[in-house]
Chains A and B, each alone.
Chain A
Amino acid sequence: MLNRPLSLAQIPLIVIGLVLCLFPIFWLVMTAIKPPIDWNASPAIWIPSEPTLINFRTLFNPDAIRAYGVGGVSQAATRAVMGSILASISATFLAVGLGLISAIGLSRYSRTNWATPLIILSGRMFPPAAIAVPFVIIFSLTNLMDTYPGLIAVYTAVTLPFSTWMLKSFVDDLPREMEEAAMLDGKSRLMAHLTVTVPLIRGGIFSTTMLVFILNWSEYMFAQVLSNTELATIPVQLAKYVTATAGTLYGVQAALAVLAMAPLIVGGYFIQGHLARGLTFGAIKK
């Protein structure tokens, strides 16, 4: 790795880049701790003089914000947070698990080079809105409408091509000879993959998991279309913070968005080593 100091020309570019990346997050966090009167203030209030946690409290106790004269929030975000956790983790686990099996199969045992992967990818070749209504009809007939199993199935179906293709590229880059060596040592094919392939591409698995989780965690359209009362996720809940007395509740929305970012930041921090490795895996070809 290069370890030379930054030039004077590079520093401002990096600062501009950081500002562009971090400003929305700064603004989000500041809005989350502003009292209602400051949400729309003009000129804008950058840092609230009287920061408050009222927006966070409103997420779990909708009446809390009445103290500021804002009424009409009727739903706590608890169910949406739990729903997002359940749907995103389950669907990610399924998509990456099934994707890994598919990836190894396609990379090592597929007789065709292009047809099967392309068919798998075809699921991502049209806008998701095009399949939303068919899902509604099918789920209505199968009583999966407004249920978590239904949403998890959709998320899995939608992200599976993505995880399959991504993981396949990692498996492709791993020399077959390593698995064959394990088999020569007496391991079955399955055990060779479990003890050689999977550990060696774990950086790729982590980065795929993270990206699939982000896709599921932030998904809005399917959750909106397939939900009524039982099913709730954070993106759907975010759109519901509108009241007749105060319009859009920007502070409460920001609080929920900050909360929604937390697992991604924490998760990203813990697996950053794997992420970097996963994203650059195979960058240098033999």
Chain B
Amino acid sequence: MSVDTRGAAQEIAASYDSGKIDRRTFLRRMGLIGVGVAVANAVSLSPLGAVKAWAAISGPEDRAWALAKEKAAAATKKSLTLLIPTGSIGNMTPYVDKWKNELGVSLEFIEEPDEVVHTKGMQEAVAKTGRYDVMMPTAMSYPDWFDSGLIYDLTDWTEKYQPDLFNKEWGVVFPASHHAQLYNGRVVGLLCDGDQITLLCRKDYLEKPDKAKAFADQYGYPLDAPKTWKEYYNLAKFMHDPKNNFYGTLEYRSRYYCKWMFMQRLASKGSLWFDQDMNPTFNSPKGLEVLEDMLAVNEFLHPDAFSFTWSSNYNAYGRGEGFLNIVWPSGFKYSKAPSTGPATTGKIKATVMPADTLPDGTNLYAGMFCWGYGFAISKYSANPDLSYAYAQWMTSPTISADAIPYLGGYSDPYRVNHMLAPTERLIETYTTDYLKILYNNIVNTVPDFCLPGGFEYQDALDKEVHACLTGDKKPKDALDDAAQQFDRITRRKGKEKVRKSWFALTENLAEPIKIATGRGNWKL
């Protein structure tokens, strides 16, 4: 259907809705349009015609909106139900009225605690109630959800309606575009939240002349935000002042969070989580070095580091209780806002995650893409096309840029245009400098365990790393035990199946990381 024809159809529908024409006239006119479109299609279009027709509509949001209009008009059930994590609703509620008023579609949100969303999905895979249309898990959920038949493969939809996921100017930033949306090379979710970790430090302390002099005298290089993990350690040590309730760093040591701290450092050393044969790689000299480094930093940690959740961590940093912190983009927002960062507003310097120095002397910058919500479409939805249209519309370049800055939601920048061509509201929320840092960091991110059994791998690693950091286990024992559990999970899930996914997941990495990890030489 061309844009003009669609416009005509919309006008007729609007006239009918407002009572200007009767039902008979409405059906006759729509019928005429339908015949016209059918003839045009038959005469002019190749098999790719439909794709071209949709692509002709100006942008992903327009294509999504056109699809939504078409499907909303045809739908018998005029509502969409979204399963979302508690706390994320703020990015979606501003559009509820638009969907209701212009499409007649009500949006119903089922909020569940973050840790329950995956379980609710698996439950739905068994119960098949059709209660959810759109579901908003982290990318970690996709493999298990897809394999259990819960969610659609969105690839055909994305080819037809072109959400511009991989566009160089406004697509989702590579490689998160692949790690957080694809499973075995197929699109299974549309990312709506750019969760990566970045480093914050206190600018006001860096600018103190006495501190700068003392630091330079002690370490032989100027006081600045850390570029390497070695510099990070030095800074944590130098700034640590527990007598004044000011600690070197607020890096997480708590359960659920500490594995990401470990994985981040491991990636900086040029190591992924498995080799090409699905052998765990972390129970190695590199993994041991990482744990030793983390144990060394323990001395300069905030005393609550072993019990931090993201919110208590942000609050402690916002109260001015430390120099360094490793945060998701929301952490920067917390530190910037006077209400949540009373002691840090205007005093923050952010940077990409520190590098590690490889044996050849080069610095390897790596980031962690972790958490990161996205939209998946339930196979038991009564309105899958309409659900997809909603997901594409919400994650489209312009609507997402509008949605992210709203308060009360978890969405953080994830498309190129969010970071390199931001709107005023995005700049106001994140600042131009921080958006550039987000971009520079995300291009080097490595994926989380977005594999079958991903949560099991994560938990096994987290448990053992935590046991080591709390002193319950020696580093080697902890890593060997985690590796043993990894092998069990791999065996149980099916080695070839997981290996295939691992290859697909790691196929897209930043070039330096590909080289450092040797991923480029792997053979399936």
Interface residues of A (CB under 8 A from B): 40-42, 68-69, 71-72, 74-75, 133, 136-137, 139-140, 145-146, 224-225, 228-229, 239-248
Contacts and interface: CB of A to CB of B under 8 A. Distances in A.
Nearest to B132: A228
Contact of A244 (B113, B304, B321, B409): B409
B413 to A, nearest CB: 14
B126 A42 contact: no
A71 B408 contact: yes
A75 B407 contact: no
Interface in B127-156: 127-129, 131
A243 B339 CA distance: 14
Among B112, B304, B314, B316: residue with most chain A CB under 10 A = B112
23 contacts: A42-B319, A69-B339, A71-B407, A72-B409, A133-B123, A140-B129, A145-B127, A146-B131, A224-B116, A228-B131, A229-B108, A239-B116, A240-B86, A242-B113, A242-B311, A244-B90, A244-B408, A244-B409, A246-B311, A247-B309, A247-B314, A247-B315, A248-B309
Given A72-B90, A239-B113, A246 B340 contact: yes
Nearest to A145: B129
B16 interface: no
B129 A242 contact: no
A121 B446 CA distance: 51
B109 interface: yes
A62 to B, nearest CB: 11
B407 A72 contact: yes
Nearest to B129: A140
Contacts of A228: 110, 131
Given A40-B315, A72-B90, 10 more contacts: A69-B340, A71-B407, A239-B116, A242-B86, A242-B113, A242-B114, A243-B87, A244-B90, A244-B409, A246-B340
Given A40-B315, A42-B319, A247-B310, A240 B113 contact: yes
A240 B90 contact: no
Tell which of B87, B93, B310, B319 has the most Cβ of chain A within 10 Å: B87
Given A69-B339, A247-B315, A242 B123 contact: no
B129 A244 contact: no
Given A133-B123, A244-B330, A247-B314, A72 B87 contact: yes
Given A71-B408, A244-B330, A140 B127 contact: yes
Contacts of A224: 116
Contacts of B311: 40, 242, 246-248
B130 to A, nearest CB: 9
B183 interface: no
Nearest to A71: B408
A229 B110 contact: yes
B97 to A, nearest CB: 15
Contacts of B310: 247
Given A71-B408, A146-B131, A245-B407, A240 B111 contact: yes
Nearest to A141: B127
A246 B316 CA distance: 12
A224 B120 CA distance: 9
Contacts of B110: 228-229
Contacts of A245: 90, 340, 407-408
Contacts of A40: 311-312, 315-316
Interface in B71-130: 81, 86-90, 93, 108-114, 116, 119, 123, 126-129
B234 to A, nearest CB: 26
Nearest to A226: B123
Nearest to B321: A42
A275 to B, nearest CB: 34
Given A240-B111, A242-B87, A136 B340 contact: no
B300 interface: no
B127 A244 contact: no
A139 B311 CA distance: 36
A42 B316 contact: yes
Nearest to B319: A42
A245 B315 CA distance: 11
Contacts of B312: 40, 247-248
B150 to A, nearest CB: 14
A244 B319 contact: no
Nearest to A138: B127
A71 B90 CA distance: 8
A246 B410 CA distance: 11
A75 B109 CA distance: 11
B89 A136 contact: no
A68 B330 CA distance: 19
Contact of A72 (B112, B119, B123, B408): B408
Contacts of A72: 87, 89-90, 407-409
Contacts of A247: 309-312, 314-315
Nearest to B88: A244
B131 A133 contact: no
A245 B109 CA distance: 19
Contact of A74 (B111, B119, B127, B315): B111
Contacts of A42: 245, 304, 316, 319, 321
Contacts of A145: 127, 129, 131
A72 B340 CA distance: 15
Contacts of B407: 71-72, 244-245
B126 A133 contact: yes
Interface string B300-337: 00001000011110111001010000000010000000
Contacts of B81: 229
Contacts of B321: 42
A224 B316 CA distance: 31
Contacts of A74: 89, 93, 109, 111
Given A42-B321, A242-B114, A136 B126 contact: yes
A139 B128 CA distance: 11
Nearest to A39: B315
Given A42-B319, A74-B89, A243 B408 contact: yes
A248 B313 CA distance: 12
